Amino acid sequence: MRVVFQQADLDTCLAGTILGVTGEDCVTWRHEGALPEELADPAIVCLEAGGSGEVDRNNFDHHNTSLALPPACVQAFVHCGRPEKYERLVEYAELVDTGRPFACPGFPNVSHLVSGVRFLYAPDPVRQFVNGVTCLRAIADLRLDPFAPLPWREMWAPFFEEKQRRLKELESLVSKVQFVRWDGLKLGFAVSSVIGAPGVLYELGADVAVVYAPQFGHPPAPKATISGKGVRVDGLLPVLNAVEPGWGGPAHGTIIGSPRCGTVLSFSQLRELIESNSWRLERVGGVRYVHQRTGRVHSELVQPAMVEP
C-alpha cells in the first residue's frame, strides 16, 4: 500500500490504523499535502493531505471545504464497514478533533500517547505516523476503553514519559496567558510551541484559544491555531485570508490554522485582527453533546481535553 499524509495527529493516525496501514507500507510525508497526481490515483491512500470528499479515490480529508465532512478517521471507519473494534476509538477521536465537550480521562490517555509519540519522534514525521498507527492498533486489539486512562505498559512508557515532561513545560504557560472578553466570550491568547497549549487555555476558562507558535513543525516556522470550545471560529477566515491566503480548517468550524508554510503575521498583529473581528465568532453549543452516530451523551464533567494544535 502507498500512503501519503501531511501530519501525524490522532485523526490521521487512526484513519491509517483502520485502513490497515503498517510499517511495511510505502509511507510518504508531504509538508504541503499530496501532489495532484497522488490525489487522482485511487491506488494511493491520502490521509488529511487533500481531496476532501473524494473517499472513492481513497482520499480521506475534511479540511478546506464547504462540505460538512466528519474527521478522516470517521470517513475511514464508514468506508471499511464500521469495524466494531474501532468504534469507541473513532468516537473519542471525533470528539477531540471537533472540540466537543466530553469527560476527558486523566493521564495517561489516548491523546497523551499520540502526543508523546509526536514529541519523541519530532524530527521524523513518517516514524511519528507509523508508531502512532501501531499504538492505536494495539489499543483496539486489546479492547482498551479510550474513555478511561490507559494502562502503563512498557511499550508505551517512553511516550508517556515524554508527554509528562512536556506537560510540566505547559505549567509555566499559565502565568503568561492573556485574556479579553467580548459579548460573553472569554478569549485566551498565548505564545507557545508546546503541543497541548489550547487545552491549558480551556482549563483557565477560555471559550476561544489563540496559540501562536514562533517555531513549529518541520521545517520550523511561525504558526498559529485558533480554536473554540463550543464556538465556531471560521468566521475569521475571510479576514485572515485577505491578509495572507492559506488559512483554513475543517468544515465544523471550531478550529482553524495558519498556512502550512507558516504565517507572516506577528503575534500582536494576529491578536489585533481577532479582537477587532470578535463579532465574527459564533457560539454553537454548551456542555452537553449527543453523539450523532452512537447516540451517547457526552458532558464536560471534568477538565476539557488537552487538544493538539
CATH code where residue 183 lies = 3.10.310.20
Q: Which three cell numbers stand for residue 16?
A: 491509517
Residues 8 and 132 in one domain: yes
Sheet holding 208-216, edge to edge: 178-182, 185-191, 208-216, 221-228, 255-257
Rounded Cα distance between 264 and 33, Å, is 20
Rounded Cα distance between 297 and 272, Å, is 38
Residues 233 and 129 in one domain: no
Instruction: Specify the number of domains making up the chain.
Output: 2
Residue 208 belongs to domain spanning: 172-283
Neighbours of 153 (CB within 10 A): 14
Which residues sit opposite 232 in a β-bridge? 282
pTM of the model: 0.75
| pLDDT band at 59; cut points 50, 70, 90 | very high
Q: Which residue has the higher pLDDT, 126 or 173?
A: 126
Mean pLDDT on 292-304: 49
Is 43 within the bounds of a domain?
Answer: yes
Mean pLDDT on 193-209: 87
Residues 136 and 6 in one domain: yes
Residues 25 and 79 in one domain: yes
Residues 133 and 55 in one domain: yes
Rounded Cα distance between 3 and 7, Å, is 12
Q: What is the dihedral of CA 90, 24, 109, 123, to 10 degrees?
A: -120
Provide the H-helix boundaries in 142-229. Answer: 157-171, 197-203
Is 147 within the bounds of a domain?
Answer: no
- pLDDT tens digits, one per residue of 144-176: 999 999 999 999 999 999 999 888 888 878 888
Residues 104 and 24 in one domain: yes
Is 223 within the bounds of a domain?
Answer: yes
Residues 199 and 261 in one domain: yes
